[in-house]
């Protein structure tokens, strides 16, 4: 299993949790952060490289706190983005932000369409999962973060 595969698995689990419950559990984001340490040791990162990864995660976390204060994203989204930034590191921080924004925009369009569609009586009658978290308000932005993180981790030539 490669480091990119492990990162992808954790991001996918967080995205599915966000879709179903509109929450990303702290244990998932904690696992994402803690799992980076043995991976960094296994990949034989120098202290300087490790420091740049920490800096990328920290900058993402601080910026995310600002977005959370504005109520643009949830707390789980902030921690998930910071964890992905920690894994991907400094060179991929800007691409992670841009791809997350693009994926989030596409997701927003989908959810606006879905919100309109779900108010249709025919739609409500035909959906057996009507009571699930899939119909809760709010957009599962963890999906956009996961898409961007997985894309970068599978295509980047840096860490993973």
pLDDT classification of 112: cutoffs 50, 70, 90: confident
147 occurs within a structural domain = yes
In a domain, 160, yes or no: no
The verdict on residue 26 lying in a domain is: yes
pLDDT computed for residue 120 by the predictor: 61
Q: Which residues contact 44 (CB under 8 A, 6 or more apart)?
A: none
Identify the residue with better confidence: 53 or 132.
53
Considering its fold, how many domains does the chain have in total?
1
Residues 152-157 have a mean pLDDT of 82
22-74 pLDDT, tens per residue?
999 999 999 999 999 999 999 999 999 999 999 999 999 999 999 999 998 99
- List, for residues 88-101, the tens digit of each pLDDT value: 999 999 999 999 99
* Model pLDDT, residue 77: 96
pLDDT score of 131 more than 50? no
pTM of the model: 0.86
Higher pLDDT, 150 or 126: 150
Cα→Cα distances 54→21, 97, 134, 140, Å? 29, 16, 34, 26
How many other CB atoms are found less than 10 A from the CB of residue 159? Answer: 22
**What's the pLDDT at 155?**
87
The residue among 143 and 157 whose pLDDT is bigger is 143
Spatial distance between the Cα atoms of 53 and 158, rounded to a whole number of angstroms: 11
Where in the sequence is the domain holding 91, given as residue range(s)? 3-155
Strand runs labelled E in 7-146: none
Q: Which residue has the higher pLDDT, 65 or 2?
A: 65
């Amino acid at each position: 299993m490669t480091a990119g595969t492990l990162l992808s698995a954790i991001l996918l689990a967080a995205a599915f949790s966000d879709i179903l419950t509109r929450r990303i559990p702290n244990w998932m984001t904690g696992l994402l952060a803690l799992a980076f340490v043995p991976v960094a040791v296994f990949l034989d990162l120098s202290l300087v490289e490790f420091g740049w990864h920490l800096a990328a995660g920290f900058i993402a976390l601080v910026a995310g706190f600002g977005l959370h204060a504005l109520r643009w994203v949830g707390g789980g989204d902030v921690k998930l983005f910071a964890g992905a930034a920690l894994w991907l590191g400094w060179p991929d921080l800007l691409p992670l932000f841009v791809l997350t924004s693009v994926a989030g925009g596409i997701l927003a369009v989908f959810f606006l369409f879905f919100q309109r569609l779900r108010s249709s009586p025919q739609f409500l009658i035909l959906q057996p999962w009507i009571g699930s978290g899939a119909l809760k308000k709010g957009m599962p932005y963890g999906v956009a973060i996961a898409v961007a993180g997985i894309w970068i981790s599978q295509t980047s030539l840096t860490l993973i």
